[in-house]
Structure 1
């Protein structure tokens, strides 16, 4: 079915989750989509990626060589850090700084817990080596580097089985000369050893954060490199000859070669694509302020999208010792979409704790064995098992009927581990799990918004992920959110988001200085170098450099403050040495965040340059989808669904049969292959022009 008009117009988005791998094939010349959702092959995730791509290109009747690009998001990096499955890694640092990873910030994330758990460093103390050298806070060399001292240290570390080395020397963010010399020596003596330099990975202020980021990059570098090489070879065998693109934690796309240099920047790869999808669907619905609620098989995450753009951050944390406790994980200085984990996923295991209360997660049944209803050997109840018993899921229609669920196994698991210990019915136990996980997510998302001074009740909730639309209305009601947008293909939204994301790269450099002492000539050179670096990485993917957009941010604060905020800066102000324009930009950003400004001197800690290529035409293609007028929009069946205290006979609709402008009042179930939307009796919906389901609480103002 391939022809010359369709050659190289097909793009594939692939998202690997803890439970499912989602694959979406899109023909860039129209709105043709082919979707597959399959269990993740946990022993080798690349296998499910290749199987899914093979399935969709076969369904489309095309060949592998017709695919213009494969865009991939993966949890490989995050899982390696969380599960401590990276390679044996060493750290080379300035004398006196080998214990930075253990000293940390010297503050407790819980003041009242005398036995808090702190993250164990990725590099044990015996693999941290100190070097005699010193660069001062201005980038000048105080003590030269002795490579003759470094050589035996490196030889000893390699003899101990070290496969990757992180190099983090004091003030290398201002002068990376010593780090580069060390790297050259290691490459000459041990070319197979992977290297990560802080001057390249994280040239930012913050000794602990910079070291942590560099070590994390080194820890996963060989693992990720081998995975990309294995996947690339499998794609070539499938006929996909074009280079693999990967999604960064900030939702941007880069070449696989770039991602392999900085794998730590992919720690939130898949969820970031979900936020990009929420931005896209919000744009199609013409709603600027959206709370993205992404609930998959393993975890649930939330992200605030204000004025049509996801919130971003340059500080991130992974592998927390205490769930939801900021400061209990490994800090990473990487550009990322500002999202948080707010709860459990569909595969999260429910149990009765020591207090006799229902607890959900944090452990998950994952893809293997999966929930009890998958019939793959798990006997413990999960959120999915409870949703099945409550009637929200159809045992015969899961994944469009391709996967049969075992309701009896789900009931047995709930009865044994929840209902019998609590002396309640199976349905009451299942409802308790559903309510517990929904309430926990609502509370965490509300706190996330409050911490950013945002009234989330003004936002529309946009649920994605396989389980998101199941829990969305209950969560929205608990947060006093009256409006929801349920897009098509919500269950594979992250893969859809990848097809919309731009090829882009962000570069940051520390250059601390008070604003009124700013050396504009020096700053202009720094920014020019940063722009050149970012532009080269974007251009090597084939993007026409004349079509890119360049943006500049400065991380600024009042002198004496402990935290900075990102401030958009007009590059013309730097060129004209206009500090007043820069200070006014900071005042606007500060007032927008805190509602006031201060009469205090201002300082700049670092600069960031973003070079971004054009987005794909996906939004335009989705907006132009044709209108079907002859569809049968009546319920395809009815089934008993639990709402609060009892089962209610509820109509079940096929999502594909709903017409634009159609309205429904709850209760109702709307099913599509990848997800199910639950419409309680207290909600109503209308299908908008973009085929979104626009849900509203009956006490609220309908969106349609």
Structure 2
């Protein structure tokens, strides 16, 4: 067990637990770490949309831990991204510099889908009638050209009040270099409209590009009012149930932030849920000495994937809500994740051309898949897995949720097989397998996007899978992609919450720094980093013990004349040669070549402050059977396998019975409380040193590659 941080020892011994709760679209997962014994416990329950804390309490019952025993509560939520996707935010207004009212619609002025005659961007979060201008002007170097007209701001106040706005975004031209006018406008509006959520671009990003800054401010305001209520309400509910510890939220950059920071900057939570799994995957990759893995998470609503290379994952500075082609950008550090709408709850349906489609609609937890027996009427990926015998109807979630196989069969037959023209005794099996094939294609596309499309050879990676649905699809996905080995960690269905327990306190800062790489710019960069690091230390000192703080230094850089940049991890000692070498290594990895002799430029500097916290030991989480035991199957089940095109009598093992070193030849199934792992015919499973399941796929694409090459 790692040393317990001072943020835990400051509490009395009765509050000994760290709790992490990942509230997803279908399930709420919990992990609880005992700082005194090193034990980690897990819980899982259906997400209760009406009262999310009730779902947390229900999950805690599995762990036998009470809220009044918790020193720290870490929370990950999909609230922000859902609010953006569903457009369920506040009625928002924008206040900007005169002449820049339409920057949201003009955007970059590009057309990502050149040959699509019906191309349309998503509607702006703020309609034109709620976008207002004030007279002021600051030039590019920060000098005031035209003072702020305060009367313009005063005239806006009754207009905004009459419009019934709930949130206001303030984004003025060039305020990233001199925020004096923007801060004054935000102050005046906050004082005059105390019940309106007011945010400014300067408080969120000190980087150039007015479109991205304005879009970021608008996005923050759009979700800010609702998230303020959500966070305050969630914390209040915890307090009502005797929680007296410290409450943090999981940020998109891979750390935790305070509730106050989250209320001021809710866009930092845009990918709050998925990052926990990436943190956990990176920890396992380092412990198992896996240099390159694809971290793949399939939950109830979506599937996500990210690359972990040498124990590190990429963090991007701009996140496109709704995708680059049609969405809008927000400037906030986010783990580089590709997400697709293929989860256990994704609904299968037949379109007007008699083609079966999958998603993006999800059954969620209410009503959920048909097999859940909670009122669901549309067939889902989970229903297909249940019908094919891949998920046990009486062993799902340890038997706590009995599954209705016959209802799932009937709906798939009536809604899919019949309209598609399938008949015969195996019609439902064939259509159910078709649902899984569609999910596989969608998920394989996401993995290719984050590997092949970024210049990586996917065959050099291992597939590290988690989430309730990940182990069900892992072997087949790996086979399709040419990946040799699959790794399934312990407790995959609650893995994101385990990753949250491992997150450290983190804050990030960035500054535009336009300068060619030279001895002078190195001195300037060093000075700017020292300023940012001092600000990070001061801002974190009130909540965390910053005596152990460490800093991360990165820069956005490019060759002179380029508009796109690459993010570069900078060496501890800055010098022209060392920085250039780091840049060219990253550029070569991204584009396959570098331009020796061409001038290199800085565009932005990024600093991160990280404070270590208590975390579970992976050794204590492994959860394996007795060393000398000879594990045998608990029972057999008829399971449909795509390659056999038939049901096979398949042994089913309990994961908790498998000791380290145990080996199983496929076809087989390994069940546990939170997930099910399917091993295809010819696949081989071995239990690794940390209790992980390592599956070698039957088709060795590495051999095929060497033959062809």
What SS does the aligned partner of 1:451 have? helix
Shift of 1:517: 8.7
1:423 corresponds, among 415, 421, 427, to 421
The within-5 A match list for 1:113-512 is 113-320=116-323, 326-424=324-422, 425-512=427-514
Which residue of structure 1 lines up, in the alignment, with residue 7 of structure 2?
Answer: none
Offset from partner CA, 1:211-256 (integer Å, 9 cap, x none): 1111110111111111111111111122221121111111111111
What SS does the aligned partner of 1:674 have? coil
Which stretch of the first structure deviates more once superposed, 666-675 or 591-600? 591-600
The count of residues paired between Structure 1 and Structure 2 equals 686
Shift of 1:299: 0.7
Contact 2:286 2:310 in 1 (8 A): no
Shift of 1:524: 4.3
Alignment partners' CA distance in 1, 2:12 and 2:197: 44
Which residue of structure 1 lines up, in the alignment, with residue 589 of structure 2?
Answer: 592
Shift of 1:699: 4.1
Shift of 1:491: 0.4
Alignment partners' CA distance in 2, 1:204 and 1:555: 11
Runs of at least 5 residues in structure 2 that lack an aligned partner in the other structure: 1-10, 703-709
Alignment partners' CA distance in 1, 2:12 and 2:169: 48
Offset from partner CA, 1:98-131 (integer Å, 9 cap, x none): 1111111122221121112311111111111011
CA 1:614/1:32 → structure 2, altered by over 3 Å: closer, same or farther?
Answer: same
CA 1:624/1:369 → structure 2, altered by over 3 Å: closer, same or farther?
Answer: closer
Contact 1:473 1:680 in 2 (8 A): yes
Alignment partners' CA distance in 2, 1:518 and 1:178: 31
Which residue of structure 1 lines up, in the alignment, with residue 636 of structure 2?
Answer: 638
TM-score (norm: length of structure 2)? 0.93
CA 1:541/1:288 → structure 2, altered by over 3 Å: closer, same or farther?
Answer: farther
Shift of 1:402: 0.6
Shift of 1:363: 0.7
Alignment partners' CA distance in 1, 2:535 and 2:411: 55
Offset from partner CA, 1:442-462 (integer Å, 9 cap, x none): 133113211211111111101
Shift of 1:207: 1.7
Offset from partner CA, 1:111-158 (integer Å, 9 cap, x none): 121112311111111111011111111111111111121112133112
Q: Does 1:691 align with 2:694?
A: no
Contact 2:663 2:686 in 1 (8 A): yes
Contact 2:303 2:341 in 1 (8 A): yes
What SS does the aligned partner of 2:651 have? strand
Alignment partners' CA distance in 1, 2:523 and 2:662: 61
Contact 2:652 2:668 in 1 (8 A): yes
Alignment partners' CA distance in 1, 2:405 and 2:621: 39
Shift of 1:173: 1.0
CA 1:225/1:137 → structure 2, altered by over 3 Å: closer, same or farther?
Answer: same
Which residue of structure 1 lines up, in the alignment, with residue 540 of structure 2?
Answer: 538
Offset from partner CA, 1:595-621 (integer Å, 9 cap, x none): 332132222111101111125342355
Shift of 1:353: 2.4
Contact 2:633 2:652 in 1 (8 A): yes
Offset from partner CA, 1:163-202 (integer Å, 9 cap, x none): 2111111111111111111112112212222121111112
Which residue of structure 2 lines up, in the alignment, with residue 323 of structure 1?
Answer: none
Which stretch of the first structure deviates more once superposed, 300-309 or 509-518? 509-518
Which residue of structure 2 lines up, in the alignment, with residue 561 of structure 1?
Answer: 562
Alignment partners' CA distance in 2, 1:14 and 1:250: 17
Which residue of structure 2 lines up, in the alignment, with residue 674 of structure 1?
Answer: 674
Q: Does 1:22 align with 2:29?
A: yes
Which residue of structure 1 lines up, in the alignment, with residue 47 of structure 2?
Answer: 40
Alignment partners' CA distance in 1, 2:280 and 2:618: 14
What SS does the aligned partner of 1:531 have? helix
Contact 1:556 1:564 in 2 (8 A): yes
Which residue of structure 1 lines up, in the alignment, with residue 600 of structure 2?
Answer: 602
Shift of 1:279: 1.2
Alignment partners' CA distance in 1, 2:622 and 2:402: 35
Alignment partners' CA distance in 2, 1:405 and 1:45: 24
Q: Does 1:111 align with 2:118?
A: no
CA 1:6/1:675 → structure 2, altered by over 3 Å: closer, same or farther?
Answer: farther
What SS does the aligned partner of 2:95 have? strand
What SS does the aligned partner of 1:443 have? helix
What SS does the aligned partner of 1:561 have? coil
Which residue of structure 2 lines up, in the alignment, with residue 95 of structure 1?
Answer: 98
Offset from partner CA, 1:552-584 (integer Å, 9 cap, x none): 1111111211211112224643xxxx4444333
Shift of 1:343: 4.3
Offset from partner CA, 1:622-659 (integer Å, 9 cap, x none): 37878733656211110000012100000000111111
Contact 2:39 2:621 in 1 (8 A): no
CA 1:71/1:671 → structure 2, altered by over 3 Å: closer, same or farther?
Answer: same
What SS does the aligned partner of 1:503 have? strand
Runs of at least 5 residues in structure 1 that lack an aligned partner in the other structure: 321-325
Alignment partners' CA distance in 2, 1:298 and 1:314: 25
Which residue of structure 1 lines up, in the alignment, with residue 656 of structure 2?
Answer: 656
TM-score (norm: length of structure 1)? 0.94
CA RMSD of superposed structures (Å) = 2.1
What SS does the aligned partner of 2:451 have? helix
Shift of 1:379: 1.5
Alignment partners' CA distance in 1, 2:391 and 2:503: 31
Contact 2:39 2:616 in 1 (8 A): no
CA 1:632/1:7 → structure 2, altered by over 3 Å: closer, same or farther?
Answer: farther
What SS does the aligned partner of 1:335 have? strand
Which stretch of the first structure deviates more once superposed, 262-271 or 277-286? 277-286
Offset from partner CA, 1:44-102 (integer Å, 9 cap, x none): 4343234434x24xx43x54332110011000011111111111111111111111111
Alignment partners' CA distance in 2, 1:222 and 1:169: 21
Contact 2:277 2:297 in 1 (8 A): yes
CA 1:631/1:571 → structure 2, altered by over 3 Å: closer, same or farther?
Answer: closer
Alignment partners' CA distance in 1, 2:695 and 2:14: 39
Which residue of structure 1 lines up, in the alignment, with residue 20 of structure 2?
Answer: 13
Which stretch of the first structure deviates more once superposed, 13-22 or 282-291? 282-291
Shift of 1:386: 0.3
